[in-house]
A and B are shown apart, each in its own frame.
Chain A
Amino acid sequence: MKIKTTENYKIELLFSAVSFFSLLALFLIFLTLAKESFHSIKEIGLIKMITSSEWYPTDEENPAFGMLPLITASLYVTFLSLLISIPIGTLSAVYISEFAKPKAKLFLKSFIEIISAVPSVVFGFWGIVFLVPIIQKLFDLPTGYCILTSSIVLGIMAVPIITSLCEDALNMVPSSLREASYALGAEKHTTIIRIIIPAASSGIFTAIILGAGRIIGETMVVLMLSGGSAVIPESLTDPARPITSAIASEMGETVVGSLHYSSLFTLGLILFVITVILSVLAQYISSKYSLKLGKGR
């Protein structure tokens, strides 16, 4: 007689196989990017691509695949947007977590979540119709499409993301710490600066890393607003072509299988590796952190 059990191992096996789909997808993405970029890496060499600064992929006689201008542009834009979104994002989170009344808190958290879903193409569109002319006039530029414009818009876009991640971090701070500080007669601002923010610091740091990952991988805003010039930018008001923007705009014009095509996948691979490292790093920090505060699962 076959024994009936409550567990069905065949089903469990099937389910577990399906559950590894996310991991499999990550591997497949990596493999695909690696396979497609192999051609250019072999022909030119990864180090040479990353370190040389001439990006003329469509030049018929002498194409050049130096990615330095694109990488520099990405780093500039990411850094500048973080400069905008970190202070606004963290302080907004402090407001929601420490100042807002409980009912308002729920509403504000939902509100932040909702606005963080506004599609990036809408931000890009707003940048074109609103900010580009202003920046052009303000700095008396030939064009308003530049690093500054896309950084501002990207910064605004990242604020709700950073806010909600930071708010989670502040929420993890046990209220006993707050109470202890208040019980000693500390005022609110002292408690926040001396107790809460230090206690949440690694959570806030995680939020910033995750935010950086999002910003560096964001495509539509930089595609629509950076101006597209593939030279190493010298000032904030120079047009530039960040990695994502290069991939998005050039995939349409390239020949499948060409060196250019392959080099765009190399850009994708670089982006993929950066974001995976940032994401895993953030999760590592946050798991250590939640253990420390005793709220880990």
Chain B
Amino acid sequence: MKKVLFNHAIKSIFFLNILLVILIVGFIFIKGYKIISLKFLFTMPYNSMTEGGIFPALVGTFLLTSLSIIFALPPGVITAIYLNEYVKNKHLINIIKISINTLAGVPSVVFGLFGFSVFVKFFGFGVSLLSGAFTLSIVILPIFISATIEALSAVPYSLREASMALGATKLYTIRHTVLPAAFSSIMTAIILSTGRAAGETAPILFTAAVFFQKNLPDSLFSPVMALPYHIYALMTEGTHPEKQVAIAYGSALVLIITVLFLISLAVFLREKRRRYVNFKH
């Protein structure tokens, strides 16, 4: 009796858990899908944000995430290469890994403060696309490094051996054998990090995002609208909350779809490759 109860309790709690999230996403989906249309996606907002679309927010999020990936890519890949291919000292590996994990645990609003003080003020970039992208790039760096290390360590050692036995240097081996072999998994890491960057709000709160903009951003130094911030702003700062809720539903749904699509794609690709690798060896 006790046993049956225990097993059932665990199962029902698990499905309650899944159900809750499905409920949340489903709720927003049902309320939001009617609002989404091509017009909603591709027109500017007007009439003090009570009508029109979310085009500038989409563009802003796209620019912010792409730029932050571009900034995070070089240090991320190099750190992963160094940790996976070069460093032999265990203590050094530990120090670097601990700092990566710790960086991953820093609250996003703290990154926002840091970005404001350093990029907005100290470097004088102002509240801008550039400041926001730099801040976001530090936020996603730990995620990107971890995923890239996984990508590199999946490349079989025998390939490195083959290359070195032909007289290649370590650097040549990395450039011509390891990186090409890991290319698609590094792409997965990029997709994963993009998904994370697209949903972040707090880091861009004081570094990049504005509530409303008449025109699309025309330089790295213009502030931008961004999808997650847009949802927050519509719900808290609007002048006509009752009219703006509909737009917020639409924006939330677009954000959910974008983020979940990117993350699912990355997870799917990764799992597929993991299974393939398992079969091969």
Q: A–B direct touch, CB within 8 Å, in complex?
A: yes
Using CB atoms and an 8 Å cutoff, list the residues of chain A in contact with chain B.
4-8, 11-12, 15-16, 18-23, 25-26, 28-29, 32-33, 35-36, 87-89, 91-92, 94-96, 99, 106, 110-111, 113-115, 117-126, 128-130, 156, 159-160, 163, 187-189, 193, 210, 213-214, 216-220, 223-224, 244, 247-248, 251-252, 256, 264-265, 268, 271-272, 275-276, 278-280, 283
Asked if B216 is at the interface of the complex by the 8 Å CB criterion, the answer is no
Assess the B202–A92 pair: CB atoms within 8 A.
no
Assess the B117–A265 pair: CB atoms within 8 A.
yes
Assess the B252–A125 pair: CB atoms within 8 A.
yes
Q: What B residues does A111 contact at CB under 8 A?
A: 18
Assess the B24–A117 pair: CB atoms within 8 A.
no
Given contacts A16-B86, A33-B110, A189-B6, are A130 and B21 in contact (CB under 8 A)? no
CA separation between A162 and B126, bound complex, in Å? 37
Q: What A residues does B28 contact at CB under 8 A?
A: 122, 125-126
B17, B28, B145, B264 pick with most chain A CB within 10 angstroms: B17
**9 further interface pairs, Cβ-Cβ under 8 Å (given A16-B92, A32-B117, A187-B3):** A22-B79, A29-B114, A33-B117, A122-B24, A128-B235, A129-B31, A188-B7, A189-B6, A248-B112
Assess the B13–A92 pair: CB atoms within 8 A.
yes
Give the residue name and chain of the A residue nearest to B11 (CB).
A95
CA separation between A247 and B18, bound complex, in Å? 32
Asked if B184 is at the interface of the complex by the 8 Å CB criterion, the answer is no
Given contacts A220-B201, A265-B117, are A113 and B14 in contact (CB under 8 A)? no
Which of A95, A125, A252 is the one whose CB lies under 8 Å from B14?
Answer: A95
Give the residue name and chain of the A residue nearest to B164 (CB).
A6
Using CB atoms and an 8 Å cutoff, list the residues of chain B in contact with chain A.
2-3, 6-7, 9-11, 13-14, 16-18, 20-21, 24-25, 27-28, 31, 74-75, 78-79, 81-83, 86-87, 92, 95-96, 98-114, 116-118, 121, 138, 141-142, 145, 164, 168-171, 195-196, 198-202, 205-206, 228-229, 231-232, 235-236, 245, 248-249, 252, 255-256, 259-260, 263-264, 267-268, 271
Which of A28, A92, A219, A247 is the one whose CB lies under 8 Å from B17?
Answer: A92
A6, A114, A130, A283 pick with most chain B CB within 10 angstroms: A114
CA separation between A223 and B229, bound complex, in Å? 12
CA separation between A124 and B3, bound complex, in Å? 38
Q: How far is the CB of A143 from chain B (nearest CB, A)?
A: 14
CA separation between A119 and B104, bound complex, in Å? 16
Do most interface residues of chain B lie in helix, strand or loop, or is the interface mixed? helix
Which of B24, B229, B267 is the one whose CB lies under 8 Å from A156?
Answer: B24
Q: What A residues does B138 contact at CB under 8 A?
A: 25
Assess the B78–A19 pair: CB atoms within 8 A.
yes
Q: What B residues does A87 contact at CB under 8 A?
A: 13
CA separation between A260 and B142, bound complex, in Å? 31
Which of A35, A99, A159 is the one whose CB lies under 8 Å from B11?
Answer: A99
List the count of A-B residue pairs having beta carbons below 8 Å apart: 254
CA separation between A280 and B98, bound complex, in Å? 7
Assess the B256–A110 pair: CB atoms within 8 A.
no
Which 6 residue pairs of A and B lie closest in terms of their CB atoms, listed nearest first?
Answer: A217-B107, A119-B199, A279-B105, A95-B14, A23-B99, A219-B202
CA separation between A279 and B110, bound complex, in Å? 15
CA separation between A115 and B142, bound complex, in Å? 19
Q: What A residues does B83 contact at CB under 8 A?
A: 19
Q: What B residues does A113 contact at CB under 8 A?
A: 263, 267
Given contacts A28-B118, A124-B232, are A189 and B14 in contact (CB under 8 A)? no
Given contacts A247-B113, A276-B106, are A21 and B79 in contact (CB under 8 A)? yes
Given contacts A20-B96, A92-B14, are A247 and B109 in contact (CB under 8 A)? yes
Assess the B17–A163 pair: CB atoms within 8 A.
yes
Q: What B residues does A216 contact at CB under 8 A?
A: 107
CA separation between A163 and B20, bound complex, in Å? 14
Q: What A residues does B100 contact at CB under 8 A?
A: 22
Assess the B113–A244 pair: CB atoms within 8 A.
no
Q: How far is the CB of B228 from chain A (nearest CB, A)?
A: 4
CA separation between A23 and B7, bound complex, in Å? 45
Q: What B residues does A276 contact at CB under 8 A?
A: 102, 105-106
Which of A12, A92, A121, A219 is the one whose CB lies under 8 Å from B107?
Answer: A219
Give the residue name and chain of the A residue nearest to B109 (CB).
A219
Q: How far is the CB of B85 from chain A (nearest CB, A)?
A: 9
